[in-house]
Amino acid sequence: MKISITCRHSDFPKNLQSHTAVHVQSLERFGEHFESGEIVFDTEHGETTCELILHRHSGDSFVAKDSCADSRKAIDNVVGKAKSQIIKYKEKHSAKSRRHEATLHRASTDNNTPSDNDNDQA
């Protein structure tokens, strides 16, 4: 994945930028392959705002944003938010999930149909 890091209104140390790149690269382990990633740092009023945009090969991008006084904490929060978005997307779009939902749907419709015994007693 190609990662671009943009710093607005200030310069961020190289070790912070490498820390960010390592954390963002770790998101690919969830099986989602990203075309590119953008990290935008902005400093306003003593707070660091970090925005992460992960561009997928097809479909919508994942976007996460967080503000914090500590830059490393902002990075960790943004990566955590993106991680939860990826996991939620994967759970929603996996074939296993769809099979499970279909089984639950069949089970609930089978229980709601009246049986012959109920009609005989009436």
CATH, residue 28: 3.30.160.100
Instruction: Let me know if residue 102 belongs to a domain.
Output: yes
Instruction: Let me know if residue 117 belongs to a domain.
Output: no
Instruction: Let me know if residue 89 belongs to a domain.
Output: yes
* Confidence (pTM): 0.71
Give the pLDDT of residue 64: 94
Give 59's pLDDT tier (boundaries 50, 70, 90): confident
60 has a pLDDT exceeding 80? yes
Instruction: Let me know if residue 121 belongs to a domain.
Output: no
Tell me which residue range forms the domain holding 96: 2-109
Instruction: Let me know if residue 65 belongs to a domain.
Output: yes
Cβ-based burial of 50 (10 A; exposed 0-12, middle 13-18, buried ≥19) = buried
Q: Per-residue pLDDT averaged across 24-42, rounded?
A: 84
Instruction: Let me know if residue 118 belongs to a domain.
Output: no
Instruction: Let me know if residue 116 belongs to a domain.
Output: no
Give the pLDDT of residue 109: 72
Instruction: Let me know if residue 24 belongs to a domain.
Output: yes
Euclidean distance between CA atoms 101 and 109, whole angstroms: 12
Q: Provide the domain count of the chain.
A: 1
102 has a pLDDT exceeding 90? no
Euclidean distance between CA atoms 73 and 85, whole angstroms: 18
Euclidean distance between CA atoms 41 and 21, whole angstroms: 13
